[in-house]
């Protein structure tokens, strides 16, 4: 199942009785603030019991073009966002582990 921003807005609106446009504004502002915090130097966003978003720098490396394996392709260092699930989320996801 995929949960989209629209699905999230509709579910919150139904549960709280708030107008969807108000809920959308709050959800969008939340996501904007998370992105803004990550975009700052050494950005890290910690949401208790949910997880931690953190910016990590990937090292520069050499890649290979599958069509021309003898040619090296330099891949520059770049910033990426890593997510580490919180304790409660990990516990819920572990419930999906298939039984032997």
Which pLDDT belongs to residue 68?
85
* Global pTM value: 0.77
pLDDT tens track for 54-94: 999 999 999 988 888 888 889 999 999 999 999 999 999 99
**CA separation for the pair 13, 81 (Å, rounded):** 29
- Residue 10, pLDDT > 90, answer yes
Sorting pLDDT into bands at 50, 70 and 90, what band is 16?
very high
Neighbouring-strand partners of residue 44: 54
Which pLDDT belongs to residue 24?
97
Q: Which residues contact 10 (CB under 8 A, 6 or more apart)?
A: 20
Q: Which residues contact 85 (CB under 8 A, 6 or more apart)?
A: 50, 51, 93
Cα→Cα distances 18→11, 13, 24, 36, 53, Å = 10, 5, 10, 26, 28
Which pLDDT belongs to residue 86?
93
**Of 81, 77, 16, 17, nearest to 45 (Cα)?**
81
């Amino acid at each position: 199942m995929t949960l989209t921003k629209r699905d999230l807005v509709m579910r919150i609106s139904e549960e709280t009785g708030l107008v969807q446009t108000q809920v959308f504004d709050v959800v969008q502002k939340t996501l904007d603030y998370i992105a803004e915090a990550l975009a700052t130097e050494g950005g890290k966003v910690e949401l208790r019991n949910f997880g931690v978003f953190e910016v990590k720098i990937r090292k520069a490396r050499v890649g290979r073009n599958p069509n021309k394996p003898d040619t090296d392709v330099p891949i520059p260092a770049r910033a990426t966002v890593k997510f580490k699930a919180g304790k409660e989320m990990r516990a819920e996801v572990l419930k999906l582990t298939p039984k032997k």
